[in-house]
Amino acid sequence: MTDTTQESHHTDNVQEHLKQVESLLHKHALVESVAHNQELPRQDRHALVGSLLHKQHLTELQRKLDGLHPADIAYILEALPIEQRLLVWDMVKSERDGEILIEVSDAVRESLIATMNREELRAAAEQLDTDEIADLAPDLPQNVMRDVFKSLSIEEREQLRAAMSYSEDSVGALMDFNMIQVREDVTLEVVSRYLRRFDELPDHTDQVFVVDRDDRFKGVLPINLIVVNEPEVVVGDLMLTDTIQLHPEEKADQAAQAFERYDLVSAPVVDEDGKLIGRVTVNVVLDFIRTESESDLLNQAGLREEEDIFASVWKSAQNRWTWLALNLCTAFFASRVIGEFEGTIEKFVALATLMPIVAGIAGNSANQTTTIIIRSLALGQITPGNARRLMAKELAISGLNGLVWGGIAGLFAYFLYHSVSLGVVMTSAMLLNLTVGAIVGMAIPLIMQRFGRDPAIGSSVMITAITDSGGFFIFLGLATIFLI
């Protein structure tokens, strides 16, 4: 298949690819079912299965998969039930196994690796660059990693050890060792001849990195400057020295912010001695941002880890148990709060119908506050100097919302039950609980970050628990004081 044809496949809608694969798998299943239900001798039945099955739909499916980008195949694998996923995985050409394993989610990767033997895993890992092997390493058996280490050159082994030594949320974990370096004392003609020796440039090469004889980073030379300037110009006279430099121990989200702010395609990674040790490219940064966004969504819902949507019921249930258990405890606590005011509710039954409104509105408002705070923390916009001012602003917003929407809720209560006192209690409870929601909506992510945890972890679950219990206590407490 030509590159042009492949590119057209890559730009097609991946959803359409998925539909086509699902259609072929469905036809495959139907033909297989019909063939196995025929009352024919065993050998004839197998012959029928072979002729109908392998020569028709599976051949077409194989052709389809051969023309797809590894990222598209990864998407399709994630969207298929386990049985169909493994059938498609078996049909993928072995020389692309490594690329696809890198692209799929961690949960799906686990299911694919479980079907592969030691040799298949080693061959898949050897297809990858050292930084990609480091990403795959946590999911590979130790004996496979030993085999992979033995197959690498000395330089590649050192690169792999370095990549695996950094934490997952650091720049070092995003680092790519495949880059082009030149000296500052050579001419552009020499650089051009050097570049032409490559069959192809490393992906996302928008600039070459300039180093001295000790590999200390000096600056960058954009590719477009090589093209438009005279061949005899010296690199040192043309290179850019005022550039963004990353350090391997820095947080990856800081690098992501730099890429977004300065529209970077690639950036050098420099160690504490000023030596160039790698680079970070925009495609890796985008993957990191996507992964972090997905992780935040899962954490806010209280999920422990990314979940394969087609995993077994038992495994999926276990993934959700931790925060469900906490939620059950908080629900029991909220029920006891209500239980303490049984006498009040018995005397004024309308309270039972109104108290969920107080809790629900405050929970929604608190989640809005938390979302704003988590986003600001991720962007590095909250500092010790402006935290108090931000808290004051959120309290003011909750106060305004409490007066406006609490007033509306109070009028609603008055018109329903013709009680001015009940309307005032409703308004006051809304105002107070929205204030509580603003405080916990800010406090939870800030406290989580202070203790080195992800600010999004379980925030939604904890906020709901606090605003529910707090709302019931405030509303019923005020009702006991002013209505009974």
Tell me the per-residue pLDDT of 468-483, one tens digit each, with 9 for 90 and over: 999 999 999 999 998 8
Among 71-85, 173-187, 379-393, which is the least confidently predicted range? 379-393
**Annotation: CATH topology of 313-482:** Tetracycline Repressor; domain 2 (1.10.357)
CATH number of 181-300: 3.10.580.10
CA angle 423–427–430, rounded 5-degree value = 140
pLDDT value for 207? 97
pLDDT value for 312? 78
Among 45-59, 315-329, 358-372, which is the least confidently predicted range? 45-59
Portion of the chain with pLDDT greater than 90, in percent: 56
Residue 39 pLDDT > 80, yes or no?
no
pLDDT value for 292? 82
- Strongest mean pLDDT among 1-10, 239-248, 298-307: 239-248
Q: Dmax of the chain from CA atoms?
A: 95
Report residue 182's pLDDT band, with 50, 70 and 90 as the boundaries.
very high
CA angle 460–463–466, rounded 5-degree value = 150
Domain spans in the chain, listed from the N-terminal domain onward: 7-169, 181-300, 313-482
Mean pLDDT of 24-38: 71
Contact (Cβ atoms closer than 8 angstroms) between residue 429 and residue 344: no
Report residue 378's pLDDT band, with 50, 70 and 90 as the boundaries.
confident
CA gap 456, 292 in Å, rounded: 11
pLDDT value for 5? 39
CA gap 31, 26 in Å, rounded: 9
Residue 315 pLDDT > 90, yes or no?
no
270: left (phi > 0), else alpha (psi -120 to 50), else beta? beta
Contact (Cβ atoms closer than 8 angstroms) between residue 479 and residue 419: no
pLDDT value for 217? 97
Among 266-280, 312-326, 398-412, which is the least confidently predicted range? 312-326
pLDDT value for 232? 95
Query: Could you tell me whether strands 266-270 and 217-222 are parallel, antiparallel, or unpaired per DSSP bridges?
Result: unpaired
Report residue 177's pLDDT band, with 50, 70 and 90 as the boundaries.
very high
Mean pLDDT of 258-282: 95
Higher pLDDT, 313 or 225: 225
Locate 173 and state its tokens. 């974990």
Residue 321 pLDDT > 90, yes or no?
no
Mean pLDDT of 349-353: 90
pLDDT value for 451? 82
Contact (Cβ atoms closer than 8 angstroms) between residue 142 and residue 116: no
Higher pLDDT, 292 or 134: 134
pLDDT value for 453? 79
Report residue 36's pLDDT band, with 50, 70 and 90 as the boundaries.
low
pLDDT value for 422? 94
The amino acid that residue 342 corresponds to is: E
CA gap 45, 243 in Å, rounded: 69
Residue 302 pLDDT > 80, yes or no?
no
Higher pLDDT, 50 or 204: 204
pLDDT value for 291? 84
**Mean pLDDT over each residue of the chain, to the nearest integer:** 87
pLDDT value for 1? 37
Phi, psi of 57 (to 5 degrees): -70, -40
Locate 415 and state its tokens. 């018109």
Among 76-85, 336-345, 377-386, which is the least confidently predicted range? 377-386
CA gap 154, 162 in Å, rounded: 12
Residue 10 pLDDT > 70, yes or no?
no
Place of tokens 């000296």: 183
Residue 128 pLDDT > 80, yes or no?
yes
406: left (phi > 0), else alpha (psi -120 to 50), else beta? alpha
CATH 3.40.718.10 fits 7-169, yes or no: no
Residue 8 pLDDT > 70, yes or no?
no
Residue 248 pLDDT > 60, yes or no?
yes
pLDDT value for 125? 92
Tell me the per-residue pLDDT of 52-82, one tens digit each, with 9 for 90 and over: 555 677 888 888 898 899 999 999 999 999 9
Contact (Cβ atoms closer than 8 angstroms) between residue 144 and residue 120: no
- Beta-bridge partners for 176: 279
Residue 380 pLDDT > 50, yes or no?
yes
